[in-house]
């Protein structure tokens, strides 16, 4: 596991094992990175979107959070997205694991 | 990404077609966010020319340090070049301070620390970006002085061409035929925009230095965008830009330190930045406009790619003309108020706007991922 590295490193690592929805990624990382506020949640979500732009992961499924129970209770109706690591993302993650200061194989 | 692969998990009552539309709207929103960020970058960059011009008119700061260096026996060209270095240092310091407050307000100090300490994996790219950025800003001043401001602005716009080539070759980002055409149109627009200043700018003070400055400006800014684009794949833009200015500041401290040790009175008027309220105000305005220009520039890259971000950012040339006319008058901004100066300016503005229109109306669906499919693997 990568420890103490920028958020995007961990996002890639979290979805390495299996594809995940954005709210699942937020649930895992918000405590680890002390991002429990609404801004923190949106930061994690933005980083997921940027990871798609970078080609590290791709969107494989979508749903609408009609009642706001999954992602944002104050603003129901937001788009939920499921992400999967691409082979390019996997290759990049392996390179990052070799470069970071603290990586322990699980 | 083909959105027709749609969800099997759509919420009850939500028809598949409406989900498709929702997804497309979401992708379009992301693209529009990137376009707006790049446009804001162009506006802030254009605004920056106002304090950037005014700071040379503050007699107790740069003119005074140049007088001191001339008194110490240095020639006019060397003196001006060293004054540029001092201004680059002051600009980098104020940007670093402003961005530090910015990151604190956004609650990103933790992420900033994590990005800083991961030197090999993340921070190193911002060292490269800082060095390239330093070269570009310095090159602009040199080109503006030794050829003319119009040439400097056009040389600056050429960075979009360097950035586009590098983003395709090094970052493997997608650039459509429409994107390439738009970049070329915007560079042509910038040439037309400054035609009056370039051809009516008088004799060059030192042609060789001016050309080197112009080339530094285009190449270094293009390369900076490329390194930043690479780093922003892994890092937060707000933290990234803070580190880029931090490293630029370190570089200029070293350069100015070496000059001071060798006896150049480069710091002889530095105290006036904090003791004279007018100079302080101009320096703060310089920092705010440049820091936010860079924040928005870096924020646009992950959403629309380096080539588009830089091409729309190159509208700064048009914005700078508008703000310079507003604050300093037509003659100072475009070199004269006759038709030979005004018509190319208006023509250039229209051409630049057409180029940015071509980019802003690109199909957002093809740009969900900015990477070329050939590097993604398994596609």
Contacts 24+ apart (CB under 8 A), B70-75: B72/B263, B72/B264, B72/B265, B74/B264
Please state the φ and ψ torsions of residue B91, each to the nearest 5 degrees.
-60, -45
Model pLDDT, residue B328: 85
Over residues A23-61, the pLDDT tens digits come to: 999 999 999 999 999 999 999 999 999 999 889 999 999
Please report, for the domain that includes residue A40, its CATH number: 1.10.10.10
- C-beta neighbour count of A34 within 10 angstroms: 11
Task: Supply the range of the domain harboring residue A73.
Answer: 7-98
Do the domain assignments include residue A104?
no
Mean pLDDT, residues A2-9:
95
With CA atoms as reference, the chain A residue closest to B20 would be A62
Q: With b meaning 16 or more CB within 10 Å and e meaning fewer, what string describes B321-349?
A: bebbbeeeebeebbbeeeeebeebbeebb
How far is residue B246's CA from residue B239's CA, in Å, rounded to a whole number? 11
Do the domain assignments include residue A2?
no
Answer whether A99 sits within 8 Å of B121, measured CB to CB.
yes
Please state the φ and ψ torsions of residue B281, each to the nearest 5 degrees.
-60, -45
With CA atoms as reference, the chain B residue closest to A66 would be B11
Radius of gyration of chain B (CA): 22
Contacts of B247 (CB under 8 A, 6+ apart): B126, B127, B129, B130, B131
Contact B100, B299 (CB under 8 A): no
Query: Which of B8, B11, B370 minimises the CB distance to A55?
Result: B370
Model pLDDT, residue B8: 43
Please state the φ and ψ torsions of residue A4, each to the nearest 5 degrees.
70, 20
Answer whether A87 sits within 8 Å of B378, measured CB to CB.
yes
Model pLDDT, residue B10: 43
Per the structure, the count of domains in chain A is: 1
Determine which of A2, A6, A80, A90 to mutate to test the interface with B (most B C-beta atoms within 10 Å).
Answer: A6
Q: With b meaning 16 or more CB within 10 Å and e meaning fewer, what string describes B267-276?
A: ebbeebbeeb
Give the helix/strand (H/E) hosting A60: strand A57-65
Answer whether A54 sits within 8 Å of B107, measured CB to CB.
no
Give the helix/strand (H/E) hosting A62: strand A57-65
Do the domain assignments include residue A28?
yes
Model pLDDT, residue B85: 95
Please state the φ and ψ torsions of residue B298, each to the nearest 5 degrees.
-65, -35
How far is residue B105's CA from residue B100's CA, in Å, rounded to a whole number? 9
Instruction: List the domain boundaries for chain B.
Output: 31-368
Query: Which of A6, A7, A64 minimises the CB distance to B14?
Result: A64
How far is residue B33's CA from residue B56's CA, in Å, rounded to a whole number? 35
Model pLDDT, residue B201: 56
Do the domain assignments include residue A103?
no
Compute the nearest-CA separation of A67 from chain B (Å).
10
DSSP letter, residue B5 = G
Q: How far is CA B9 from the centre of its chain?
A: 43
Model pLDDT, residue B320: 85
- C-beta neighbour count of B75 within 10 angstroms: 10
Assess: ipTM above 0.90. Answer: yes
Do the domain assignments include residue A79?
yes
Identify which of A26, A49, A28, A50 has the alpha carbon closest to the alpha carbon of residue A38. Answer: A26
Compute the nearest-CA separation of A106 from chain B (Å).
20
pLDDT tens for chain B, residues 1 to 379: 444 444 444 444 445 668 888 888 888 888 899 999 999 999 999 899 899 889 989 999 999 999 999 999 999 889 999 999 999 999 999 999 999 999 999 889 999 999 999 999 999 999 999 999 999 999 988 887 787 666 777 777 788 888 888 888 888 888 888 888 988 888 888 788 777 766 665 556 677 888 888 889 889 988 998 998 888 888 999 999 999 999 999 999 999 999 999 999 999 999 999 999 999 999 999 999 999 999 998 889 888 888 888 888 888 888 888 888 888 888 877 777 788 778 888 888 888 888 888 887 877 677 777 777 676 665 4
SS3 A89: helix
């Amino acid at each position: 596991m990568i420890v103490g590295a920028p958020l995007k490193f961990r996002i890639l690592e979290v979805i390495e094992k299996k594809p995940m929805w954005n709210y699942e990624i937020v649930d895992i990382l918000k405590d680890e990175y002390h991002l429990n506020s609404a801004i923190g949640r949106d930061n994690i979500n933005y980083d997921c979107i940027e990871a798609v732009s970078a080609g590290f992961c791709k969107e494989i499924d979508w749903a609408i959070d009609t009642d706001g129970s999954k992602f944002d209770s104050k603003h129901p109706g937001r788009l939920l997205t499921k992400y999967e690591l691409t082979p390019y993302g996997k290759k990049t993650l392996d390179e990052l694991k070799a470069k970071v200061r603290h990586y322990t194989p699980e | 990404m083909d959105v027709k692969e749609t969800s099997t998990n759509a919420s009850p009552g939500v028809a598949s077609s409406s989900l498709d539309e929702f997804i497309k709207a979401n992708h379009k929103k992301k693209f529009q966010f990137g376009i707006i960020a790049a446009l804001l970058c162009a506006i802030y960059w254009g605004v920056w020319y106002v304090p950037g011009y005014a700071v040379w008119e503050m007699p107790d700061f740069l003119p005074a340090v140049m007088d001191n260096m001339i008194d110490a026996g240095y020639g006019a060209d060397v003196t001006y070049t060293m004054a540029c270095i001092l201004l680059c240092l002051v600009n980098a310091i104020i940007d670093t301070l402003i961005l530090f407050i910015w990151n604190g307000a956004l609650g990103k100090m933790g992420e900033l620390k994590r990005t800083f300490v991961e030197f090999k994996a993340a921070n190193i790219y911002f060292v490269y970006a800082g060095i390239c950025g330093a070269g570009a800003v310095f090159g602009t001043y040199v080109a503006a002085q030794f050829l003319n401001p119009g040439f400097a602005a056009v040389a600056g716009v050429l960075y979009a061409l360097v950035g586009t080539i590098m983003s395709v070759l090094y970052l493997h980002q997608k650039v459509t035929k429409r994107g390439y055409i738009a970049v070329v149109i915007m560079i042509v627009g910038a040439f037309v925009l400054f035609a009056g200043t370039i051809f009516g700018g008088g004799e060059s003070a030192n042609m060789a230095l001016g050309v080197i400055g112009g080339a530094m400006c285009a190449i270094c800014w293009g390369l900076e965008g490329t390194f930043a684009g690479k780093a922003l794949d892994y890092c937060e833009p707000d933290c990234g830009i803070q580190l880029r200015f931090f490293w630029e500041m370190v570089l200029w401290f070293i350069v100015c330190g070496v000059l001071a040790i060798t006896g150049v009175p480069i710091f002889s008027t530095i105290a006036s930045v904090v003791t004279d309220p007018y100079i302080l105000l101009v320096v703060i305005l310089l920092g705010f406009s440049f820091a936010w220009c860079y924040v928005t520039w870096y924020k646009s890259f992950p959403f629309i790619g380096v080539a588009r971000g830089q091409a729309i950012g190159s509208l700064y040339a048009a914005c700078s003309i508008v703000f310079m006319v507003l604050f300093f008058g037509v003659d100072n901004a475009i070199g004269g108020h006759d038709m030979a100066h005004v018509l190319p300016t208006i023509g250039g503005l229209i051409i630049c706007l057409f180029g940015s229109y071509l980019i802003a109306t690109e199909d957002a669906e093809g740009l969900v991922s900015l990477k070329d499919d050939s590097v993604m693997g398994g596609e």
